[in-house]
Amino acid sequence: MQHSDPIGVFDSGMGGLTVANAVKKTLPNERLVYFGDSAHLPYGDKSAATIQAYSVKICDVLLQQGCKVILIACNSASAAAYDLVKAYVGSKALVLNVIDPVVQYIIDKHSDKRIGLIGTKQTVGSEVYDTKLRARNCHMPLSALATPLLVPMIEEGFHKNEISDQIIAQYLQNPALQNIEALILGCTHYPLIKKQVESFFKGNAEVIDSSLIVAKALRELLAAKSLLSDSSGAPDKFFVSDFTPSFQAAAELFFQREIVLEKHVLWE
């Protein structure tokens, strides 16, 4: 592993680009290799075993690209496959997920508050946030709600209109999320609807977007291992396992700049 090696980032689709974007802002000298597993989206309603199989295949691609770190920019894959990915990658690269930095943030800033969580069925069903909080000796209750309609809605770019506002409100009115003081956006697609979620709570709950928290944790990890790059050199690369023009448009919406997607099939 060398400091000039790229950072590998993956997600089921475009959601991880919200994290990649934050990484690029926080660490402008780093080169990214992104993999969006669009052929298998959504991960959130798949079994843990299936998500593990996809994640390992993607790690092969990122390792072939010489990545010094693999950032699992997907809560569902972080919940289902982090331990396996870490064991699989071994000493070839560092591995970071999007859940541990948020759990640490909550312990540092919100351990006395009532916290809510929204995410995919996989993330919420795994109870990974509770498990990680308890493992750090923090026993605060977390009120979690699976919100499975949100990922397809966001991937379709269908998220700034009255109907999407109603879907978001319908979820957030759920009794599980009453009287919370902070809400974790437990899916990397959700930063795209952060404004709608914030306007629903009218300032009464902090909306926690993991992307910047994770980017800072990545910076600390690379600094601790003396692996920070001093110049980005070659351009970033973006792979998808299936390509459609609407995906191209979504990618640019998520990353907020022009990007070129390369197709890379995981299984022939």
Q: Which residues are catalytic?
A: 74, 187
Residue 266 touches ligand DGL, criterion: CB under 6 A: no
Q: For the CB of residue 99, give the shortest distance to ligand DGL in the complex, in Å.
A: 9
Q: Which of residues 41-70 bind ligand DGL (CB under 6 A)?
A: 41-44
* Nearer of residues 72 and 94 to ligand DGL, judged by Cβ: 72
Strands 182-186 and 115-119: parallel
Alpha-carbon distance of 233 to 253, in angstroms, equals: 25
Q: Considering the complex, state which of residue 189 and residue 237 has its C-beta at the smaller distance from ligand DGL.
A: 189
> CA 194 to CA 240: how far, in whole Å?
25
Q: For residue 101, is the peptide bond before it cis, meaning its omega torsion is within 30 degrees of 0? A: no
Choose which of 11, 30, 209, 236 interacts with ligand DGL (CB under 6 A): 11
Among 21, 38, 52, 75, binds ligand DGL (CB under 6 A): 75
Taking the least distance from each CB to ligand DGL, the nearer of 14 and 227 is 14
Site residues (CB under 6 A) for ligand DGL, limited to 108-147? 120, 123
Q: Which C-beta is closer to ligand DGL: that of 66 or that of 100?
A: 100
- Interface residue with ligand DGL among 187, 205, 208, 261 (CB under 6 A) is 187
Which residue is closest to ligand DGL by CB? 44
Q: How far is the CB of 212 from ligand DGL (least distance, A)?
A: 15
Residues 150-169 touching ligand DGL, rule: CB under 6 A, are 151
Contacts with ligand DGL in 194-253 (CB under 6 A)?
none
CA distances (Å), origin 5, targets 8, 98, 210, 246:
9, 21, 24, 31
Stretch that binds ligand DGL, among 9-17, 59-67, 102-110, 177-185 (CB under 6 A): 9-17
With contacts defined by CB under 6 A, name the span among 61-69, 171-179, 185-193, 197-205 that binds ligand DGL: 185-193
> 34 vs 43, which CB is nearer to ligand DGL?
43
Q: Which two tokens stand for residue 116?
A: 């809510």
Residues that bind ligand DGL (CB under 6 A): 11-13, 15, 41-44, 74-76, 120, 123, 151, 187-189
